[in-house]
Protein backbone atom coordinates (compact mmCIF):
# COMPACT_ATOMS: atom_id res chain seq x y z
CA UNK A 1 0.00 0.00 0.00
CA UNK A 2 2.84 2.39 0.87
CA UNK A 3 4.45 1.86 -2.52
CA UNK A 4 1.09 2.40 -4.22
CA UNK A 5 0.58 5.70 -2.37
CA UNK A 6 4.17 6.84 -3.03
CA UNK A 7 3.95 6.23 -6.77
CA UNK A 8 0.27 6.89 -7.36
CA UNK A 9 1.27 9.92 -9.45
CA UNK A 10 2.59 7.61 -12.17
CA UNK A 11 0.02 7.46 -14.97
CA UNK A 12 -1.15 4.34 -16.72
CA UNK A 13 0.67 3.37 -19.93
CA UNK A 14 -0.21 5.55 -22.89
CA UNK A 15 -1.43 3.25 -25.64
CA UNK A 16 -3.66 5.48 -27.74
CA UNK A 17 -1.02 7.70 -29.33
CA UNK A 18 -0.63 7.40 -33.05
CA UNK A 19 2.70 6.78 -34.76
CA UNK A 20 5.17 9.67 -34.98
CA UNK A 21 5.48 11.54 -38.26
CA UNK A 22 9.21 10.81 -38.11
CA UNK A 23 10.27 7.45 -36.72
CA UNK A 24 13.61 8.97 -35.69
CA UNK A 25 11.90 11.07 -33.01
CA UNK A 26 9.79 10.25 -29.97
CA UNK A 27 6.62 12.40 -29.85
CA UNK A 28 6.26 14.34 -26.60
CA UNK A 29 2.71 13.01 -26.16
CA UNK A 30 4.07 9.48 -25.69
CA UNK A 31 6.27 10.40 -22.72
CA UNK A 32 5.31 9.58 -19.12
CA UNK A 33 3.87 12.58 -17.28
CA UNK A 34 6.82 12.92 -14.84
CA UNK A 35 9.26 13.16 -17.77
CA UNK A 36 6.93 15.46 -19.71
CA UNK A 37 6.68 17.85 -16.74
CA UNK A 38 10.45 17.85 -16.20
CA UNK A 39 11.17 18.66 -19.85
CA UNK A 40 8.49 21.37 -19.83
CA UNK A 41 10.07 23.03 -16.78
CA UNK A 42 13.53 22.91 -18.40
CA UNK A 43 12.22 24.48 -21.61
CA UNK A 44 10.35 27.16 -19.64
CA UNK A 45 13.56 28.00 -17.77
CA UNK A 46 15.49 28.35 -21.04
CA UNK A 47 12.81 30.56 -22.59
CA UNK A 48 12.69 32.75 -19.48
CA UNK A 49 16.36 33.52 -20.18
CA UNK A 50 15.52 34.58 -23.73
CA UNK A 51 16.77 31.38 -25.34
CA UNK A 52 14.69 29.47 -27.86
CA UNK A 53 16.99 26.98 -29.64
CA UNK A 54 15.72 24.45 -32.14
CA UNK A 55 17.72 21.67 -30.43
CA UNK A 56 18.08 21.36 -26.65
CA UNK A 57 20.24 19.01 -24.56
CA UNK A 58 18.68 18.22 -21.17
CA UNK A 59 20.48 16.27 -18.41
CA UNK A 60 19.21 12.71 -18.32
CA UNK A 61 17.16 12.46 -15.07
CA UNK A 62 17.97 8.74 -14.80
CA UNK A 63 21.76 9.22 -14.60
CA UNK A 64 24.40 10.58 -12.25
CA UNK A 65 25.85 13.91 -13.45
CA UNK A 66 29.08 15.73 -12.66
CA UNK A 67 28.21 19.13 -11.17
CA UNK A 68 31.59 20.82 -10.81
CA UNK A 69 35.21 20.43 -9.82
CA UNK A 70 36.26 20.56 -6.18
CA UNK A 71 39.17 22.65 -4.95
CA UNK A 72 41.04 19.76 -3.31
CA UNK A 73 42.47 16.58 -4.81
CA UNK A 74 42.10 13.01 -3.61
CA UNK A 75 44.54 12.19 -0.81
CA UNK A 76 44.52 8.54 -1.91
CA UNK A 77 45.09 8.82 -5.67
CA UNK A 78 46.12 12.46 -6.15
CA UNK A 79 43.47 12.89 -8.87
CA UNK A 80 41.00 15.75 -9.24
CA UNK A 81 37.72 15.47 -7.34
CA UNK A 82 34.25 16.54 -8.49
CA UNK A 83 30.80 17.25 -7.10
CA UNK A 84 28.07 14.93 -8.37
CA UNK A 85 24.30 15.24 -8.76
CA UNK A 86 22.19 12.21 -7.96
CA UNK A 87 19.64 10.94 -10.52
CA UNK A 88 16.35 12.82 -10.24
CA UNK A 89 14.47 9.53 -10.53
CA UNK A 90 15.43 6.79 -8.08
CA UNK A 91 16.23 3.30 -9.36
CA UNK A 92 12.93 2.06 -7.93
CA UNK A 93 10.90 4.67 -9.78
CA UNK A 94 12.85 4.02 -12.97
CA UNK A 95 11.92 0.36 -12.69
CA UNK A 96 8.25 1.25 -12.28
CA UNK A 97 8.38 3.43 -15.40
CA UNK A 98 10.08 0.62 -17.33
CA UNK A 99 7.28 -1.73 -16.30
CA UNK A 100 4.55 0.68 -17.40
CA UNK A 101 6.05 2.16 -20.58
CA UNK A 102 7.90 1.04 -23.67
CA UNK A 103 11.64 1.13 -22.77
CA UNK A 104 12.45 2.66 -26.18
CA UNK A 105 10.76 5.97 -25.25
CA UNK A 106 12.52 6.28 -21.87
CA UNK A 107 15.96 7.81 -21.32
CA UNK A 108 18.92 5.40 -21.25
CA UNK A 109 19.94 4.21 -17.79
CA UNK A 110 21.79 1.29 -16.14
CA UNK A 111 18.43 -0.51 -15.98
CA UNK A 112 17.69 0.34 -19.62
CA UNK A 113 20.97 0.63 -21.56
CA UNK A 114 20.19 1.92 -25.06
CA UNK A 115 22.97 2.15 -27.63
CA UNK A 116 21.41 5.01 -29.64
CA UNK A 117 18.54 6.76 -27.80
CA UNK A 118 16.09 8.56 -30.05
CA UNK A 119 15.63 12.33 -29.58
CA UNK A 120 12.28 13.74 -28.47
CA UNK A 121 10.18 16.01 -30.67
CA UNK A 122 8.38 18.61 -28.56
CA UNK A 123 4.96 20.00 -29.41
CA UNK A 124 6.44 23.12 -31.06
CA UNK A 125 9.00 21.11 -33.06
CA UNK A 126 11.92 21.57 -30.66
CA UNK A 127 14.26 18.55 -30.70
CA UNK A 128 15.40 17.37 -27.26
CA UNK A 129 18.42 15.16 -26.66
CA UNK A 130 19.34 13.47 -23.40
CA UNK A 131 22.68 14.56 -21.99
CA UNK A 132 24.85 12.02 -20.14
CA UNK A 133 26.35 8.58 -20.64
CA UNK A 134 25.54 5.28 -18.99
CA UNK A 135 28.67 4.22 -17.12
CA UNK A 136 29.54 0.55 -17.39
CA UNK A 137 30.17 -1.31 -14.17
CA UNK A 138 33.78 -2.19 -13.58
CA UNK A 139 34.63 -5.87 -13.54
CA UNK A 140 34.86 -7.38 -10.09
CA UNK A 141 38.42 -7.46 -8.85
CA UNK A 142 39.80 -10.01 -6.44
CA UNK A 143 41.87 -8.82 -3.45
CA UNK A 144 45.10 -10.03 -5.13
CA UNK A 145 44.60 -8.41 -8.57
CA UNK A 146 47.06 -5.63 -9.31
CA UNK A 147 48.94 -5.89 -6.02
CA UNK A 148 52.73 -5.72 -6.15
CA UNK A 149 52.98 -7.25 -2.68
CA UNK A 150 50.57 -9.90 -1.51
CA UNK A 151 49.05 -9.93 1.94
CA UNK A 152 51.45 -10.70 4.80
CA UNK A 153 49.95 -14.08 5.73
CA UNK A 154 50.91 -16.32 8.66
CA UNK A 155 54.53 -16.70 9.71
CA UNK A 156 54.57 -20.35 8.56
CA UNK A 157 53.52 -19.22 5.09
CA UNK A 158 56.18 -16.49 5.02
CA UNK A 159 59.12 -18.73 6.00
CA UNK A 160 57.99 -21.76 3.96
CA UNK A 161 59.98 -20.91 0.76
CA UNK A 162 63.21 -20.57 2.75
CA UNK A 163 62.52 -23.80 4.63
CA UNK A 164 61.90 -25.68 1.38
CA UNK A 165 65.12 -24.28 -0.13
CA UNK A 166 67.15 -25.28 2.95
CA UNK A 167 65.63 -28.77 2.93
CA UNK A 168 66.48 -29.29 -0.73
CA UNK A 169 70.04 -28.10 -0.12
CA UNK A 170 70.47 -30.58 2.72
CA UNK A 171 68.97 -33.42 0.69
CA UNK A 172 71.61 -33.02 -2.03
CA UNK A 173 74.41 -34.65 0.08
CA UNK A 174 72.14 -36.91 2.12
CA UNK A 175 73.36 -40.19 0.53
CA UNK A 176 77.00 -39.43 1.40
CA UNK A 177 76.10 -38.46 4.96
CA UNK A 178 74.06 -41.65 5.45
CA UNK A 179 76.93 -43.79 4.13
CA UNK A 180 79.41 -42.02 6.40
CA UNK A 181 77.10 -42.43 9.40
CA UNK A 182 76.67 -46.18 8.76
CA UNK A 183 80.41 -46.62 8.35
CA UNK A 184 81.06 -44.79 11.62
CA UNK A 185 78.48 -46.93 13.43
CA UNK A 186 80.08 -50.10 12.06
CA UNK A 187 83.53 -48.90 13.15
CA UNK A 188 82.19 -48.16 16.64
CA UNK A 189 80.81 -51.71 16.88
CA UNK A 190 84.13 -53.18 15.81
CA UNK A 191 86.02 -51.12 18.38
CA UNK A 192 83.57 -52.06 21.11
CA UNK A 193 84.17 -55.80 20.67
CA UNK A 194 86.40 -57.38 23.32
CA UNK A 195 89.81 -58.51 22.08
CA UNK A 196 89.69 -61.70 24.11
CA UNK A 197 87.25 -64.51 23.29
CA UNK A 198 86.10 -64.79 26.92
Sequence ranges of the domains in the chain: 2-131, 155-192
Task: Provide, rounded to the nearest whole percent, the portion of the chain with pLDDT above 90.
Answer: 17
Minimum mean pLDDT range among 1-10, 84-93, 176-185: 1-10
pLDDT beyond 90 at 68: no
Total Cβ atoms within 10 A of residue 119: 17
Question: Could you give the CA distance from residue 62 to residue 70 in angstroms, rounded to a whole number?
Answer: 23
* pTM across the whole model: 0.54
* Burial status of residue 136 (CB atoms within 10 A of its CB: 0-12, 13-18, 19 or more): exposed
159 vs 149, residue with greater confidence: 159
Cα 88 to its chain centre, rounded Å, is: 20
Q: What is the mean pLDDT of residues 169-176?
A: 89
Burial of 128 (0-12, 13-18, 19+ CB in 10 A): buried
Amino acid sequence: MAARRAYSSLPAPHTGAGPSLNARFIPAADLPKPLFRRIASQLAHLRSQGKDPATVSIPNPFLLHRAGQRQDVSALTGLERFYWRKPQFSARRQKLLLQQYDPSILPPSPLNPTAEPRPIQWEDGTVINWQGEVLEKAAKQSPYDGRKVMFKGHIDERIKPQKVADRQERMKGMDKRIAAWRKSKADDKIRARPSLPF
